[in-house]
Chains A and B, each alone.
Chain A
Amino acid sequence: MNAQSNAMPEAFQARGVVPASIPATQSFLWSVRRELWEYRSIYLAPLSVAAVALLAFSVSVIAGISEHQLRLDPSRPQRPFDLAAGLMMLTGILVSVFYCVDALHGERRDRSILFWKSMPVSDATAVLAKASIPLVVVPALIFVITIAMQCMMLLVSSAVVLVSGESVTTLWKSLPLARMWWLLLYHIVTAHALWPFPIYCWLLLVSGWAPRATFLWAALPVVTIAGIEGIIFRTAGFAGLIGRRLFGDAPAMSMAPDSMGLDPLTTHVTVGRLLSSPGLWIGFAMAALFLAAAVRFRRYRAPI
């Protein structure tokens, strides 16, 4: 019986002239691309925030030309650059949260899941493609757009410093660009991709399960647990834990405030501390669990 049923698909496939399969990576990449088509805010939101930040910065420093002292101090110019980068990371968190809440819900709501499921793409591929948005795509976009934004900021700053007759060389020397960008990359990968990943997977899971009001269902357990904890123990440990996860308080991030100027690889980038942190691995385990459940829900749940 078994041998017979196994032989049947081959008999059917032998008649096909075209190759019978497409590499898994290709299906995956097309699935990711399809997410970017649907959720254009993934790149439009960071681009517009970067544009607004750049505009605000430009207006501010240009207005400073007519004042008796420049608002931009060429010897200590890094603060607005860091602020703008922080704003970009906050945007990344918002984009990822709103994306994940809708990613598996939207396709059930508009019944297009029936179209996606008519394609030879597995539920696991579809869910992993969706999970790669907060894990890879958004962090990568935030990194690249932030660098582009900071380059433009530097150009504007240089022009302003030049017009005011101050030293452009001082400005460029005071901005440790390579180190800033290296740290930015490290910070984004650890604090905004790896560390909050279980939260995003949880949101995907709820998105694949909830009949409606996904955000409410996602937040409800957190609020309930935090509430019970607050009433019984009068502490806020759980809420703090979730908040620190989401906003990227990874163990590798604690750095001495005066460590500037030292080698960033040894002072800021504590890879060992991150990798040896049980929190990271517990997070990954939970993320895997949530994703497995999300795949299962995508398989079982009917369109809404």
Chain B
Amino acid sequence: MACIEARHLRKAFGSTLALDDIDLRVEEGRILGLLGPNGAGKTTALNAVLGLVPYEGELRVLGRNPWTEREQLMRDVSFIADVAVLPRWIRVSQVLDYVAGVHPRFDRGKAEGFLAKTNIRTTSKVRELSKGMVTQLHLAMVMAIDARLLVLDEPTLGLDILFRKQFYDSLLNDYFDSTRTIVIATHLVDEIQHVLTDVMFIDRGHIVFNSTMEDFESRYLEVIVNPERLTAARAFHPMHERQVIGRSVLLFDRADREQLSALGEIRTPSIADLFVAVMSNQTGAQGAAK
């Protein structure tokens, strides 16, 4: 069953189209990485899914209309919209009390268990915690909610690498299972590549790339070519080319692995490499059209 299903999703802010006729389907049990340059429409898309902004077109999240049924939807959807949205005046114990009071699927014992593994004291106020601890607190709350969909918008922005690694480790080990769906929008794509099952690029309100990770790994390959073999390699129509210390790295889509292996060292590209390739082709194509 589709967890998120959108048809002709459109959202304009004034004359700017943040989402331009997007069709989208996210199946249950997937971990989708949503990537795009700043201002590409990632946050708008997620806000529409969470019922935070009105939109045009058809959108169903867990079978519900998020704009008209946000209250009911939030029983089954959790989100961390930003690193710092927990109110600074609140005490950790008050966060626990409040969420336990209003959320039918919150397991307080579980949250306290997660918190016990951190240095967060329940008597502390959020303003007394470090940025990393606030994120740990928010994650502990969210992981203790038995939700079907978890949406994370730049959840680790500004955190150091230890916290970021810990964040995704606990998410995978203590939370994710085949009945849950996770959507993550982030710039730090290399860190989550191993976590994702699906990846999607958004640019200027359009989905410009959408693939499962299995497809991604079988479809794309990179060849590191010495200068003398560059012309031969270029004959296979690479989608992108970049220079790395005197050698060229060519990125191919559905190319012949065996023939290319004769030209240089073959490896699977990172999502970040493909992202750069897709985005620069986008800019190129748009520039040529004008």
Contacts and interface: CB of A to CB of B under 8 A. Distances in A.
Interface of A: 5, 7-9, 11-13, 15-22, 26-27, 29-31, 33-34, 37-38, 107, 110-115, 117-122, 125, 300, 302
Contacts of A113: 85
Contact of A119 (B60, B81, B89, B102): B102
Contacts of A29: 101
B60 A12 contact: no
B14 to A, nearest CB: 13
Interface of B: 1, 50-54, 60, 62-64, 70-76, 78-82, 84-91, 94, 97-99, 101-105, 138, 146, 148, 179
Given A21-B104, A302-B53, A120 B74 contact: yes
26 contacts: A5-B60, A8-B64, A11-B63, A12-B148, A13-B76, A18-B146, A20-B104, A21-B104, A22-B103, A26-B102, A33-B98, A37-B89, A38-B89, A110-B87, A112-B85, A112-B87, A115-B138, A117-B74, A118-B81, A119-B102, A120-B102, A120-B103, A121-B102, A122-B71, A302-B52, A302-B53
Nearest to A17: B146
A119 B86 contact: no
B98 A34 contact: yes
B179 to A, nearest CB: 7
Contacts of B99: 119
Contacts of B74: 117-121
B86 A112 contact: yes
Nearest to A26: B101
Contacts of A34: 94, 98
Contacts of A121: 71, 74, 102
A203 B92 CA distance: 30
A19 B104 CA distance: 6
A21 B75 contact: yes
Contact of B104 (A22, A37, A300): A22
Dominant SS among interface residues on chain A: helix
Nearest to A119: B102
A119 B96 CA distance: 12
A210 B63 CA distance: 34
B102 A118 contact: no
B79 A118 contact: yes
B148 to A, nearest CB: 6
Contact of B102 (A19, A27, A37): A27
A177 B97 CA distance: 40
B72 A120 contact: yes
B104 A9 contact: no
Nearest to A107: B87
B103 A114 contact: no
A26 B97 CA distance: 12
Contacts of A19: 104
B63 A8 contact: yes
A107 B76 CA distance: 23
B190 to A, nearest CB: 27
B78 A118 contact: yes
Nearest to A8: B63
B98 A30 contact: yes
A107 B81 CA distance: 14
B52 A117 contact: yes
A120 B101 contact: no
A15 B76 CA distance: 11
Given A21-B104, A37-B89, 4 more contacts: A22-B102, A112-B85, A112-B88, A115-B86
B215 to A, nearest CB: 28
Contacts of B148: 12
Contacts of B85: 111-115
Contacts of A9: 62-64, 72
Nearest to A22: B104
Nearest to A10: B63
Contacts of A22: 101-104
A29 B102 CA distance: 9
A258 B61 CA distance: 68
A111 B84 contact: yes
A59 B165 CA distance: 63
B88 A110 contact: yes
A39 to B, nearest CB: 9
